[in-house]
Amino acid sequence: MSLDAAFARAAELDANDSLAHLRSHFDIPEDVLYFDGNSLGPLTFRSREVLHRTIEFEWRERLIRSWNEDWLAMPARVGNKIAPLIGAAPDTVIACDNTSINLHKALMAAVALRPGRTEIVIDINNFPTDIYIAQSVADQHNMKLIAVTADEIIGAISERTAVVTATHVDYRSARILDLAGITAAAHANGALMVWDLAHSAGAVPFNAAEHDIDFAVGCGYKYLNGGPGASAFIYVAPRLLAESGQPLQGWWGHSEPFAFEVGYRPAEGISRFLTGTANVLSMKSLEAALHVFEGVSMQQLREKSVSLTSLFVELAQEHLVDKGFVIRSPLNANERGSHVALGFAEGKPLVDAMAAEGIVADFRPPDLMRFGFAPLYNSHVDVVRLINRLSLH
């Protein structure tokens, strides 16, 4: 297909896109093509408005009264907005801290629920912080960290395994891991499962309840568009909440934080996974950004995501492969998340050059260019414009 024909086809797809109107919620500069929502989602107009009100009214005028009037309830409220995006029941998700800290909490809680077991199994291609956190948990419990590739995870699980942890969508390749198979293998061996949803939440369906997931964590600043450093979240299965504990026993996780007791009594339910004071401005921005998802199903988001990435892969095969680009993401859309990775020897200088031109993507060493296609604001015409620019290199 010629690029002229591709532009015509993309325009038709955009004209029939039921989600196209959602782009108007995002304050993306007119001269920017943004393909890095898998690293940092763009600003929503609602986030700007809410932050302004939080600063000028809730903080400036109401001062400390805003804690009781609104802020204390935010972690649970925001968690319940995230819950349907990951297929979780109400009151099983809480917004707090960052992904690394929440992963530490989840792994420590899981290990405590499986005393006497000696191993943690992890995907060796996880984002490095996941590996660092898992290693620290293993070291603290004198356990062995079994780091294997995604295809080897199921075979590595045994009666010695306390917990298995992996990222649902690989941050490099965008490969979707075998959620059902890996989780079932963990449970069949009596182990618990912790999933990282950093590259799933808001773009790729994940059904925590259907798959009987034990724990899951994720961040709020990628496809959820909460802003730089936005609060992360943690999910805990309802059947585990009453018996789960976590190592960071701060006052917000106390049953009665304002009783100021010396002894720690964990709160009921998911609130026991809180630790310290919420970052109000960060969480306000995330809550505001989540408004865009109201009335939109994960199936709709997934269908558009697949359409965008499939168009990119098709055109990359026709126009880029013979120029030295290598498609490093799965060709099968059912196995691919919402970004596409291209290998290219001159990837870093090309990403930098395009950024200077207003076409924003990202790079991961040694040669990987990543292009995020966010169904809330990216269009099919955006995809063709990107292919056109890459083909000129």
Percent of the chain whose pLDDT exceeds 90: 99
Catalytic residue among 46, 81, 117, 222: 222
Q: Do 277 and 303 fall within a single domain?
A: no
70 is catalytic: no
Reading the block at residue 147, the tokens are 């780091």
Q: pLDDT tens digit string along 263-279?
A: 999 999 999 999 999 99
Containing domain of residue 85, as a range? Answer: 51-293
Query: Minimal CA–CA distance to 203: which of 296, 282, 312?
Result: 296
Residues 6+ apart with CB under 8 A from 209: 87, 88, 89
What pLDDT, on a 0 to 100 scale, did the predictor assign at position 169? 98
Structural domain ending residue among the three candidates 268, 293, 318 = 293
Let me know if residue 46 belongs to a domain: no
Catalytic residue among 370, 373, 377, 382: 370
In terms of Cβ atoms closer than 10 Å to its own Cβ (0-12, 13-18, 19+), residue 374 is buried
Q: Which one-letter DSSP state was computed for residue 88?
A: -
Catalytic residue among 35, 171, 221, 371: 221
Query: Within 13 A of 204's CA, how many CA atoms are on the CB side?
Result: 28
221 is catalytic: yes
Query: In the structure, what pLDDT confidence band is assigned to residue 72 with cuts at 50, 70 and 90?
Result: very high
Q: Do 251 and 281 fall within a single domain?
A: yes
Q: Do 104 and 205 fall within a single domain?
A: yes
Please give the C-alpha separations between residue 379 and each of 14, 27, 170, 387, in angstroms, as whole numbers. 6, 15, 23, 13
Query: Within 13 A of 243's CA, how many CA atoms are on the CB side?
Result: 9
CATH of the domain at 23: 3.90.1150.10
Domain count, the chain: 2
What pLDDT, on a 0 to 100 scale, did the predictor assign at position 233? 98
Catalytic residue among 17, 123, 196, 382: 196
Q: Do 113 and 176 fall within a single domain?
A: yes
Segment 11-34 mean pLDDT = 97
Please give the C-alpha separations between residue 156 and each of 47, 65, 120, 132, 159, in angstroms, as whole numbers. 44, 53, 10, 19, 10
Q: Do 280 and 347 fall within a single domain?
A: no
Reading the block at residue 326, the tokens are 């290598």
Catalytic residue among 127, 171, 215, 325: 127
196 is catalytic: yes
> Alpha-carbon distance 113 to 240, whole Å?
9
Query: In the structure, what pLDDT confidence band is assigned to residue 393 with cuts at 50, 70 and 90?
Result: confident
Decide the pairing of beta strands 93-95 and 233-236: antiparallel
Q: Do 12 and 77 fall within a single domain?
A: no
127 is catalytic: yes
- What is the rounded average pLDDT for all residues in the chain? 97
Q: pLDDT tens digit string along 46-58?
A: 999 999 999 999 9
Residues 166/123, Cβ–Cβ less than 8 Å: yes
Q: Do 201 and 346 fall within a single domain?
A: no
> Taking the complete model, does pTM exceed 0.95, yes or no?
yes
What pLDDT, on a 0 to 100 scale, did the predictor assign at position 1? 87
Residues 89/116, Cβ–Cβ less than 8 Å: no
Sheet holding 326-327, edge to edge: 326-327, 339-343, 368-372, 362-364
Q: Do 284 and 324 fall within a single domain?
A: no
Helical segments of the chain, H only: 3-15, 45-53, 65-69, 74-82, 99-113, 128-140, 153-156, 179-188, 238-241, 280-290, 298-319, 347-356, 380-391
> Alpha-carbon distance 340 to 138, whole Å?
33
370 is catalytic: yes
Q: Do 131 and 13 fall within a single domain?
A: no
Phi and psi angles of residue 317, each rounded to the nearest 5 degrees, phi first: -65, -35
